[in-house]
Amino acid sequence: MTSTAELLPLAVIGACCSPVTREPISAENAASLAHVLKAVADPARLRLVSMVAAHQDAEACVCDLTEPLGLSQGTVSHHLKILVDAGILTRDRRGTWAYYALVPGALDSIVGLLAGA
């Protein structure tokens, strides 16, 4: 004769499993957060975000961002475009220069997830 326990999958009889105490993120949320995380998961882009944030009103002229990074203007523009496309920075051309500003709250959902982890 077969006992009930032998017929149940391991997860049901709890041989290995600790209980879940809250809801993990959904597949959809994970996909959109991973997209934003990928945009900042690069040393140059992390420094760009940090440099813009360090400027008054969290806005910096592109002319202030290129030299400290030690990268070509083309490479810096490429990284800035990825940050703008991900919704982390905005770009505003005024006269000769382009100005980049942090989008308020753009990183809040990532911070919330990782702080809660």
Residues within the interface to a second copy (CB under 8 A): 10-11, 16-25, 27, 30-31, 33-34, 37-38, 40-47, 49-61, 63-64, 67-68, 96-97, 102, 107, 110-111, 113-117
**C-beta closer to a second copy: residue 1 or 62:** 62
In angstroms, what is the minimal distance from the CB of 88 to a second copy? 8
- Rank residues 1 and 92 by Cβ distance to a second copy and give the closer one: 92
Phi, psi dihedral angles at 61 (to 5 degrees)? -75, 140
* Minimal distance, residue 1 CB to a second copy, in Å: 25
Q: Which residue has the tokens 């753009």?
A: 106
Whose Cβ is closer to a second copy: residue 1's or residue 84's?
84
Among candidates 77, 79, 85, 72, which has minimal Cα distance to 47?
A: 79
Burial 38-63 (b: 16+ CB within 10 A, else e): ebbeeebbeebbeebeebeeeebebe
The residue whose two tokens read 């032998």 is 6
Which residue lies nearer to a second copy by CB, 24 or 73? Answer: 24
